[in-house]
Amino acid sequence: MIEALAPLFIGDFSSYRDTLVLHDDPRPSVPLRELLSAEGLPALLVRFGEAHAGGDRRALLSQWSKHYFVRLIPPVVAAALVLNRRLPLGLDDIEVVLDREHLPQAFKLRDAGEPFAPGNPFERFTHLQHDHLAP
């Protein structure tokens, strides 16, 4: 867990306690850029698809993406809204910890981010939208 984010991970949100971590987390991980590369993504879908025999590749990618966003977006949005903190979300700033089913379990960040209180409300989530949601 990233100590600066600890106030977020209480009560119903405690399941996200180990979702955003730093690079010293001992769990194996894959750099996001490598995971999304021309070689990495097809290999990931093959491994993920082993549990879904005959699954359409588009459906597999849709299901995998859903899990990715459910793990990433809530703690990032909470950090931005509640703590006024901007986290490093660039492709080269994140490694993904995959579980046994090859689904995203956690994200290793380059650092704990920095305080950020933008004047424009749309600016608050520009990094999330640009680095993870834009086509």
Mean pLDDT of 81-103: 95
pLDDT of residue 53: 74
What does the pLDDT read at residue 51?
84
Binning pLDDT at 50, 70 and 90, where does residue 135 land? Answer: low
Alpha helix stretches (DSSP H) within the chain: 32-35, 40-49, 57-82, 126-128
Q: How far is CA 122 from CA 8, 21, 85, 102, in A?
A: 22, 26, 14, 33
Read off the pLDDT of residues 40-90 as tens digits, 9 standing for 90 and up: 999 999 999 988 777 788 999 999 999 999 999 999 999 999 999 999 999
Q: Which residues lie across from 78 on neighbouring strands?
A: none
Predicted confidence at residue 55, as pLDDT, reads 76
Mean pLDDT over 112-135 rounds to 86
Percent of the chain with pLDDT over 70: 99
Average pLDDT over residues 96-102: 97
